[in-house]
Amino acid sequence: MTRYESVSAPDGGEFDAYLALPASGSGPGILVFQEIFGINDNIRGIGDRLAGEGYVALAPDMFWRLERRFERKDESDIEACMAMVQRLDFGAAVGDITASFAHLRAMPECTGKVGAIGFCLGGTLTFLCATSARVDGAGIDAAVPYYGSGIHDMLDRAGDLRCPTLFHYGDHDPFISTEQIAAVEAAVAGRPDVTVAHHDAGHAFSNWDAPSMYDAAAAEAAWAQTLAFLGRHLRG
């Protein structure tokens, strides 16, 4: 049960979002934020897996202002993907994130609570969602950023992190240093509703479409933690 939704942008225009629905037809909502590869098989697969767990998963096209439906399979075209990230307007992205949140929450299939999950660039967008996106004064109910490559540069927003959050990091990530992960931990220290999970893996360890990065053991462990976390905070 999948389709593409059309989401109205706050400054005009519309953008696509991949939607995966559970067999029951309804459930809590989860925003799924893309890696630098766009909404590809891996991200659609994440949405499908979440739908299989009973969630309404919506993955907005965050590159639509640059190129609609930009999609690359894996790290083989990394230069084109990095160029997209460098051109991304994060200010406009916050507006698109908020619009996606509002769209999902208003869908009849969504039963109320909404969480967010994202990977690499999407981990950073998940952090932005948790700290910035508000609809009728309310933010999302849970956030799971996987190896968000820009979070350590946005820690001035940590005071606006108002929902339970589970961070995933690989301890051997060549793009996110031990010091940068430690800075994130320090920024959320003392928060009983925030967990920083460490994995014996590198960057993008959850991406089964990127064979040089994928680590099955770490991916499976993180996914189990993620499902337990989302279950506690979105089904209660």
The set of catalytic residues is: 173, 203
- What are the structure tokens assigned to 141, written together? 């109910």
Helix axes 121-132, 90-106, angle to 10 degrees: 70
Spatial contact of 202 and 173, defined as CB atoms under 8 Å apart? yes
Q: Which of 122, 164, 129 is nearest to 147 (CA)?
A: 122
- The strands making up 194-199's β-sheet, listed across from edge to edge, are 2-8, 14-20, 56-60, 27-33, 110-119, 142-146, 165-170, 194-199
